Amino acid sequence: MQPAKVRRDRVQTLTDLPNVGPACAADLRLLGFDSPQQLAGKDAYTLYRRLCDITQVRQDPCVLDTLLSITDFIDGNPPRTWWQYTAERKRRWPSL
C-alpha cells in the first residue's frame, strides 16, 4: 500500500503495510508471516538474508529497503516510502 494511504488503526493484512503489494506479501508469507503484528521486533537484514536463502536468489536491494520500511513502521514509526531507506541500507551494507 502507498505509505500516504496507510492508517495504523486499519492495518490488518500484510498488504495494509506501507510499500507492500501482492508480491511482497507473498515474500513475507514465504518467511512465515501471516499478519503484520508478527513482524514486530524483527530485523530487516535478517529477514532479507532468510528470503535470499529460501528462494536461493540474491534479492534486489530494494527488497531490503522495503523490509526496512515495514519493520520500522510496525515498530511504531510513521509510514515512509521504501526509497527513504536506501541511504541507510547503503551505509550499513555497502556491498549489497
The count of structural domains within the chain is: 1
Question: Residue 56 sits in a domain of what CATH number?
Answer: 1.10.150
How much is the pLDDT for 92?
Answer: 94
Angle, CA 94 vertex, CA 96 and CA 69 arms, to 5°: 75
Domain encompassing residue 29: 3-92
Q: How far is CA 51 from CA 44, 48, 78, in A?
A: 10, 5, 25
| pLDDT (tens place) for every residue of the chain, 96 residues total | 899 899 999 999 999 999 999 999 999 999 999 999 999 999 999 999 999 999 999 999 999 999 999 999 999 999 999 999 999 999 999 988
